[in-house]
């Protein structure tokens, strides 16, 4: 077999750089997703009670905060999903 040409080596290096970047993004998005899910209030409250407790639930703005938290969590979950799919396609 012939040794790979410099063009093939450059292509492999760029793929490695993309995989490294996407892996770093995956770790950051994963941690962000865990934090966002923990911030949601469940049936008996949640970690979100630490930051406001009953005072924020009694206020009229609590539904806006929960709605925004839901939207942000959905966006981060979609980024996590697509990043996982892209990493899976690159590695195969």
Helices (H) and strands (E) in the chain, counts: 3, 0
- Return d(Cα 38, Cα 40) in angstroms, integer: 5
Do 37 and 80 form a contact (C-beta atoms < 8 A)? no
Res. 72 pLDDT band, cuts 50 70 90: very high
Is this prediction's pTM over 0.85?
no
Mean pLDDT of 41-52: 62
Q: Is the pLDDT of residue 32 over 90?
A: yes
Which pLDDT does position 23 carry in this prediction?
A: 95
Residue with tokens 């409250």: 45
Please, which residues have CB within 8 angstroms of residue 56's CB and are 6 or more apart in sequence? 62, 65
């Amino acid at each position: 077999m012939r040794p790979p040409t410099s063009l093939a080596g450059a292509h492999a290096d760029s793929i490695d750089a993309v995989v490294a970047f996407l892996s770093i993004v995956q770790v950051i998005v994963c941690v962000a997703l865990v934090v966002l899910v923990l911030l949601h209030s469940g049936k008996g409250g949640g970690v979100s009670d630490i930051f406001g407790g009953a005072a924020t639930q009694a206020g009229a703005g609590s539904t806006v905060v929960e709605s925004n938290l839901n939207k942000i969590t959905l966006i981060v979950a979609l980024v996590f999903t697509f990043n996982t799919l892209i990493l899976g396609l690159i590695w195969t």
